[in-house]
Amino acid sequence: MKKQIILRKNINIDFECFKCLKLVSSLETCISCIPKNPDYLYAVEEIFYYGSVCSSCGMINVLDDSKREIFPKPKYKENIASLPDNLKKFYQNIQKAANNQMWEVVILLTRIIIMHIAVVEKAKDNDKFQYYIEYLNEKKLLNRDIINLLDFGRKWGNNLNHIIKEFENTNNNEENGKICLETVKSALENLYKYKDLLKKNKIKK
């Protein structure tokens, strides 16, 4: 059995909650250390863990010694009602990529799902990604904030797709990937989930 020692309580930790995905600050934090080799009572190497309570949703988050990595990792598996089959497939692939921390893939898939959303909404096929952003905007299918964020996703995808070099800033890719994931979710909900709720409840605009 691993020996666990609580070192300190009530220190301030800033972190992103794995459940509600909000950046929060917690005063309810315990720091624990667990020897890497539990067979030795006095282990030289120890792993430090930070257990913090999210001040927004109350979920307990466990961070490693970097105070950035969160365990368990967030699991993106939300289903959105009434999605067309091809959009459902792409959204599921984006979620799988996010669950495996493949944020570059999330960004690249965002460009593709933008195109498919527009084509489902009667845009012409096989055009440039910029055209699909402009189409969604001109047809007023999404609000301007979502359009702007999707366009950022398109540009980030262009950079990853066309610049041949190592990904030097992984943190930026993760941050941008999370923005892409949340924006795609919002776009799909606005276009299909809420429209379906209106239809089911026979609410007229």
Task: Read off the pTM.
Answer: 0.62
| Structural domain boundaries, residue 128 | 85-200
Instruction: Tell me which of 81 and 18 has the higher pLDDT.
Output: 81
- Integer CA distances (angstroms), 80 to 19, 76, 83, 107, in order: 18, 12, 6, 20
Contact 142, 72 (CB under 8 A): no
Residue 147 lies in a domain: yes
Which residue in the block uniquely carries the two structure tokens 């930790």? 13
- Residue 13 CB-half CA count within 13 A: 30
Both 67 and 118 in one domain: the answer is no
- How many Cα neighbours within 13 Å face the side chain of 96? 7
C-alpha–C-alpha distance, residues 148 and 151, integer Å: 5
Specify the range with the lowest mean pLDDT, choosing from 57-71, 80-94, 168-182.
57-71
pLDDT for the residue numbered 164: 53
Beta bridge partners of 201: none
| 3 or 56, greater pLDDT | 56
Task: Give how many domains the chain has, as a whole number.
Answer: 2
CATH number at residue 180: 1.20.120
Torsion 89-91-94-96 (CA) sign = negative
The verdict on 89 and 60 lying in the same domain is no
In the three-class reduction of DSSP (H, G, I as helix; E, B as strand; rest coil), residue 71 is classed as strand
80 found inside a domain: no
